[in-house]
Chains A and B, each alone.
Chain A
């Protein structure tokens, strides 16, 4: 196993509600990336956090926001949920941002949080 844990594993919300997803990164990893994966699609990059700061953002609206904490764990928050937000949300931790000699580029994924919006 990767050592990356996500919670909750499954949840159901209704349109307009808000959701917070959580991720604990693998020990020693300082970078966390969040991805949204709709059925039949590849993971789409939402944003990445490095040392508690957003390091990059994909094509997602501002109602998708995040945090990274000093222990490198992270949260993804989605406000005003829409039906199209139904997806698997994947958190991936990685090593080496700031340590390029160690960065193989490998991402270590958690099992994901499956969100259904009704």
Chain B
């Protein structure tokens, strides 16, 4: 079983749609969680950290469910510019070594 699992997609949605991605992790000792965005043939960049209480940044909402060991990313009012791959990242406690999922591809079309 992979440590961090994501549905690779692609998720193909129209502009203005709401889309949600989930990511599951296997290590219950994991302590910090992130979503990164990666554009085609570019490097990953931090989108947002995921806090236990959940957090929101504009159209993006991230949530953590420790009991079920998954994190989620919700994108409201999708824009064409949201088209990218979204990578789920998990840090084990104290390791400082982030583990990446394979990413979920999002395509937003007009």
Contact = CB atoms under 8 A, between A and B. Distances in A.
Contact of A41 (B49, B95, B96, B102): B102
B44 A105 contact: no
B100 A35 contact: yes
Contact of B49 (A96, A105, A110): A105
Interface residues of A, number: 27
A28 interface: no
Interface stretch (A42-50, A64-72, A75-83): A42-50
Contact of A109 (B43, B49, B95, B97): B43
A81 B71 CA distance: 37
Contacts, number: 61
B32 A105 contact: yes
Contact of A48 (B34, B36, B96): B96
A53 B60 CA distance: 38
A89 to B, nearest CB: 11
Interface string A30-43: 01010100001111
B42 A48 contact: no
A112 B102 CA distance: 17
Interface string B80-106: 000000010101000111111111000
Interface in B14-51: 32, 34, 36, 42-46, 49
A56 interface: yes
Given A42-B103, A90-B43, A107 B98 contact: yes
Contact of A111 (B4, B42, B102): B42
B10 to A, nearest CB: 11
Best-surrounded residue of A42, A48, A96, A104 (most CB of chain B within 10 A): A42
- Nearest 4 A-B pairs (CB), nearest first? A109-B43, A42-B102, A42-B100, A43-B100
